[in-house]
């Protein structure tokens, strides 16, 4: 069923027994997933998750073939993600320290409003040029 634009589709929760029944039907009859999905009105991609969780390995498995170059590129990308995650964590720590130092400076200067202090300090900064 197609829902009109702007209409929120109700959330459907399927029982474990129903999920197992659908996976069994797919594995026994080897029917196309799209056909079974439409037959029961199940959302796109939902059945793939069921196959992975409840299936016996007859369907829903993805075999990925990669060249050595692709494998190396994937390793490099994963390493880069780790480095970026570390850099982000370091930046968050630095920001937290900066906020704490600013708060401490405000308390020692007797300033109640940190935002006001920042505005005043920004106005007093001088450029070197």
What is the chain's mean pLDDT, rounded?
Answer: 84
In 3D space, the residue among 71, 24, 74, 78 whose CA is nearest the CA of residue 51 turns out to be 24
What integer pLDDT is reported at residue 33 of this predicted model? 86
**Distances from the Cα of 16 to the Cαs of 20, 32, 54, 65, 72, in angstroms?**
6, 21, 9, 33, 40
What is the model's pLDDT at position 126? 59
Quick: pLDDT tens for 79-119.
Answer: 999 999 999 999 999 999 999 988 888 888 888 888 877 77
Q: What is the share, in percent, of the chain residues with pLDDT greater than 90? A: 30
pTM of the full structure:
0.39
């Amino acid at each position: 069923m197609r829902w009109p634009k702007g209409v929120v589709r109700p959330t459907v929760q399927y029982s474990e027994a129903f999920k197992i029944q659908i996976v069994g039907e797919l594995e026994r009859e080897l029917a196309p997933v799209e056909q079974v999905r439409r037959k029961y009105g199940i959302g796109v991609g939902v059945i793939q998750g069921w196959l992975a969780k409840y299936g016996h390995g007859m369907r829903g498995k993805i075999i990925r073939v990669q060249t050595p170059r692709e494998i190396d590129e994937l390793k490099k990308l994963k390493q880069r993600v780790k480095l970026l995650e570390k850099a982000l964590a370091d930046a968050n720590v630095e920001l937290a320290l900066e906020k704490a130092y600013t708060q401490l400076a405000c308390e020692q200067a007797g300033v109640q409003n940190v935002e006001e202090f920042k505005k005043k300090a920004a106005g007093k900064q001088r450029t070197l040029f």
